[in-house]
Chains A and B, each alone.
Chain A
Amino acid sequence: MSATAIDVPLLGAKWTIGFTGLLHTAVASLSIGLAALVTVLQIVGYRHRDRRYDLLARRMQLVHVCIYNIGTIVAIGLIFSLSGLFPQFWSQLFVHQFWTLIVEEFIFFLLATTVTFHYFFWQKMWGHKKLHIFLGALLTPLFLLQFYLINGIGGFMLTPGYQTGQATVGGLIDGWDRMGFYNPSFLMLTAHRALANVAYGGFTVAALCGIMHYLTHREKVKRYYEDNGRCAFYTGFLCFLGLPIVGYFYAHVLKYEANEAYVNLMWGQGDVVALGMDWWWLKQLLVAGMFGLALGYFRDASKRQGASFALPLVLVWSLALFYLLYYLGMGMIMTWKFFFAMLGVAAAGMLLAGHLVRFHRGSGRALFLLMGALSFLTVMLGGYVREAARPRFVNRYSHYDHVYIPEHRQPVLMVHKRPEDVFTPEELAAAKAPPKGALIQAGGVGQKLLDSAALIRVHCSGCHTLERVKNYRLTDRWSLIVSQMRAYGLKLSNDEARLIVEHLEAARPY
């Protein structure tokens, strides 16, 4: 087998995919958010008989149409990059999810047509406003459906949900892999991204309003952008508040279904740390900063009378408290040092928000801009760390006759062939046996984990940070400690307890 592959000078294959993928994600996520916001603005405008909202909605839709096309083209670039640079991975993905991608393509076409008609026939459909709003409102469910399909594939890449050997040999795969699609992290990924996209869209629209506020000099127009910016900002913030709740459960899924990725994220290992920086932590610090900035803005906004779209402060603070509780939960499994750093950044954000609003005489324009930039960065970092957290999917091969490894599984991937037609019973049994280390990586619920390091990571971090284990001083009494933990409710078999104690006593890394 040829182990050589196409490479991209300077950037390298990995970063080419990363760059193209993130660019697409930035644009596609914004599209989803914008579609929802345009509908909100159109409905508000129609209900209040206020053309200003309709005008803003139209401008947002124009931005949407432009970035939509850029997103489409970047998606094409991503397809070409993946098929050229990672042919093995890409081919394998097609074997599992060809029909998913084709249905997604069809929805893509429907979306492209709808968004185009919605914008370009805005004036022509003026006499049919309800129909026009309905057409625009169709975009959001279509986007979510498309997004649902892509998340099935994205989730599969992180939590395949079964052992690879079993998945390919166990059934006839002809472009659709139900088990792979409805993988363990699928639901959480979908919920997390749906909220994040609307939040991102809201903050971006607010940022655009902030820019227009800077550029315009007429007081009336300034007030228009201020009000619209606030409306978009509130919409974004409400979705933003839901993120750590979903994120908390998402992290739990990863912990059991993609333990290695989970460990990489939570304790800064693998590709999550690049250029000497833990990008996951940076993302969380930015999120904390956004949280503080938003709360600061709300505190200030609540003091002002007569502002449109004022959210009840009690709602904001109670949601914020809920938000904090979930971060506390996350803090349990990250580190307290990190948790307090987040609190500090949030407090600094709050102070900065107050300063920015006062400096601009009550206008949130600078804050809108800052939040837009931060939301963009967090979307980018979120996408990056999710991809970087898992171990490298495959090696890169270019020879098209050898896109599938291991080769002994290739024949069952062919159409109209069943595993029984290709393999002897012995070969089938061998193929179904888990590859070395697979149990550790999969770590499915109910499976016996045999790797002691993974046992420690999964079981100990359920209640406290691993730092607590590492900092424990009475290292000659691990057996007693493990027994205590079992008495507190930790469910371990005797074999697992023995493996953990041996590992800790030997002071091996975990």
Chain B
Amino acid sequence: MDLPVIDPPIFPRWIWIEEITYSHIPLATYITACMVLAPVFEYIGWRRRDARYDRLAVGLIWFSLTLFSPGAALGTGIPMWIMGTYPEFWSRWSNLFFWPLMAQFVFFIFEVLFLFLLYYLLWNWSVNHKRLHIFLGAVAAFWGLMVQLVWDAVGGYMLTASRALPGVDEPVAWSPQAFFNPSLPFLFSHRFVGNISWAMMVTGGVLGLRAVGKKPAEDRAYYNWASHLTFTIGLLAFFGMPVIGWFYAQVIGRHAPVAFHAIMGGHQAWMFIAKVALIGVFVAIGGAYVFLRYQSRLLLWGLTAGLGLLWVVLTIHPPLKWLGDSPWVWRGAYTALLAALAALLWGIRGRWSVETKGWKWAMFAAGLASFFAFCIGGMVREGAKNPHTVYGELEKPEALPRERDRFLLYDRCVQCHHRTINEFNRYDHRRTWADILGDANHRSVGKDADERDRLLRYLDRYYR
């Protein structure tokens, strides 16, 4: 590589990029979720002649607009940082995705025009043209989703870069293989549902807290209503995530196996477990809230079915981490937890009021948990492909030998070793790794002397 790399002070460059990116993504995803839901709320309010929905819709859009400019400005900083700190990666990106990025620019312009000028500013004017106004809001949301689609394609390419891509010296400007990469549909749908889920849970928590401090009874009633509605939508939307996530994981397992193993028991597993723990927190709080707040059996059984779905996904999913020596320990643990939660929820049904300050804070805490689970999800995805920026294509400038060796180990060994990287811990400790690699089963792995040395170096250091 003969491109200069800027070395930023204080933190390593990957931390800078991570922080800059995470300053933009929550704003962008929140805005997208609000853009999608505002026309829906407006439509419901119009059909039911309920002004509260309209107030909620305009409130969401107003808040989105206050975030829009800062979010866009922070977004502009991301390519700047990447160009300076990961120039080779950016060159590859801008070469393969030139036209999608330009299209994204046009979509973004349309998004602003529709969202600002035609949707928000015409809200009062269009009281008598509600259908047209809702349509304009839906169009704004469409352009927002198109922007998201382009970025998901670009992000998906980083983890599951397709085969048979054009050479780096070809000015392709656009590669359908790279754009429509295998993980695009799953990443897009996972993010689409995930954005709605975390954004609405956080909104519900914040609106609940606003209700506490409101003096006029009318305002308090509105904020209570709005917080119940948004929080419940956020919680219910979450139950779509594990299902999509399961398919997404399958694609990652097939097209980026090293990243998959990194998450499922490998070096990123701790982060994924933290994410699952946070999910557990907000599912428990949210579930309790729904069972205390609502009487609808359809909703309660729906939520129970959601827990069942979670159980199914965990059961068919590869284990996140072994608990003890047997997979049955892990399976038993999550089955017991989910069953206990379901029993508890049905047990507390309708017992207490959720209209208390404590519950508003609990909702807010659940919203925060969902937000952090969302953030960790992105970190898991990015960290899993270390030391690569584009899985299997480009390596990070700061890649360490240890990280390269780990990637090699995952790549060469895990495919044959059952289902997770942790199986290395269960090898016969009386034999050396050199012996193990030298036996008949591993001859194909250690053919190359350098490769063999690297594998041994890593195994000796981390699995003895």
Partner-B contacts on A (CB < 8 A): 2, 4-6, 62, 65-66, 68-70, 72-77, 79-81, 83-85, 87, 90-91, 94-95, 98-99, 101-102, 105-106, 108-109, 111-113, 115-117, 120, 173-175, 398-404, 410-411, 413-416
Contacts and interface: CB of A to CB of B under 8 A. Distances in A.
Interface residues of B, number: 51
Given A84-B102, A401-B169, 7 more contacts: A5-B171, A65-B116, A98-B84, A99-B6, A174-B6, A403-B3, A416-B7
B10 interface: no
Contact of A175 (B70, B75, B84, B106): B84
A500 B310 CA distance: 87
Given A80-B102, A400-B95, A105 B90 contact: no
Given A69-B112, A72-B72, A84-B94, A415 B7 contact: yes
Interface stretch (B36-44, B60-68, B259-267, B436-444): B60-68
A4 B65 CA distance: 42
Given A102-B80, A398-B95, A112 B109 contact: no
B95 A84 contact: yes
Given A84-B94, A112-B73, A116-B65, A79 B102 contact: no
B157 to A, nearest CB: 16
A6 B173 contact: yes
B398 to A, nearest CB: 11
5 contacts: A80-B79, A83-B91, A84-B95, A105-B73, A398-B171
A4 B73 contact: no
B105 A73 contact: yes
Contact of B80 (A2, A79, A174): A79
Given A83-B79, A84-B98, A109-B73, A403 B6 contact: no
Given A80-B102, A81-B102, A84-B95, A73 B112 contact: yes
Given A5-B171, A401-B169, A175 B6 contact: yes
A83 B94 contact: yes
B2 interface: yes
B7 to A, nearest CB: 5
Interface of B: 1-7, 62, 65-70, 72-77, 79-81, 83-84, 87-88, 90-92, 94-95, 98, 101-102, 104-106, 108-109, 112-113, 116-117, 121, 168-173
Contacts of A2: 169, 171
Given A73-B108, A400-B3, A400-B95, A112 B69 contact: yes
Q: Which of A66, A73, A79, A411 has the most CB of B within 10 A?
A: A73
B33 to A, nearest CB: 19
Given A80-B102, A102-B84, A116-B65, A109 B2 contact: no
Given A80-B79, A84-B98, A175-B6, A4 B69 contact: no
Contacts of A74: 105, 109
Contacts of B168: 399-401
A94 B90 CA distance: 12
Contacts of A108: 73, 76-77
B98 A6 contact: yes
A91 B3 CA distance: 9
Contacts of A62: 121
Nearest to B105: A77
Interface of A is mostly: helix
A6 B4 contact: no
A75 B87 CA distance: 19
Contacts of A85: 98
Contacts, number: 168
A99 B8 CA distance: 9
Contacts of A402: 2
Nearest to B112: A69
A411 B112 CA distance: 43
Nearest to A91: B87
A116 B76 contact: no
A4 B80 CA distance: 25
A79 B170 CA distance: 21
Nearest to B67: A116
The 10 closest A-B pairs by CB, nearest first: A400-B91, A77-B105, A398-B171, A112-B69, A112-B73, A84-B98, A105-B77, A98-B84, A413-B4, A175-B6
Nearest to B92: A400
A83 B173 CA distance: 11
B87 A76 contact: no
Nearest to B106: A77
A116 B5 CA distance: 35
B80 A101 contact: yes
Contact of A84 (B66, B73, B101, B108): B101
Nearest to B63: A120
Nearest to B68: A69
B108 A76 contact: yes
B101 A415 contact: no
Contacts of B169: 2, 398-401
Contacts of A84: 94-95, 98, 101-102, 173
B101 A94 contact: no
A113 B69 contact: yes
Nearest to B116: A66
B69 A76 contact: no
Contact of B94 (A87, A95, A173, A404): A87
Contacts of A117: 66
A51 to B, nearest CB: 20
B105 A415 contact: no
Given A69-B112, A73-B72, A117-B66, A4 B171 contact: yes
B83 A90 contact: yes
A212 to B, nearest CB: 15
Contacts of A109: 70, 73-74, 77
Nearest to A101: B80
Contacts of B81: 102
Given A83-B83, A84-B94, A116 B70 contact: yes
Contact of A102 (B74, B77, B87, B88): B77
Nearest to A69: B112
A99 B106 CA distance: 28
A414 B4 contact: yes
Contacts of A73: 72, 105, 108-109, 112
With most chain A CB atoms within 10 A of its CB, the pick from B6, B73, B79, B116 is B73
A129 B72 CA distance: 28
A87 B7 CA distance: 20
Contacts of B67: 116
Contacts of A95: 4
Contact of B87 (A77, A80, A94): A94
B80 A401 contact: no
Contact of B90 (A83, A112, A410, A416): A83
Query: In this complex, which of B2, B77, B173 has the most chain A Cβ atoms within 10 angstroms of its Cβ?
Result: B2
Nearest to B84: A98
Given A80-B94, A80-B102, A415-B5, A68 B108 contact: no
Contacts of B102: 77, 80-81, 84
A361 to B, nearest CB: 31
A94 B83 contact: yes
Contacts of B77: 102, 105-106, 108-109
Given A105-B73, A400-B3, A116 B105 contact: no
Q: Which of A4, A5, A79 is most buried by chain B, counting CB atoms within 10 A of its CB?
A: A79
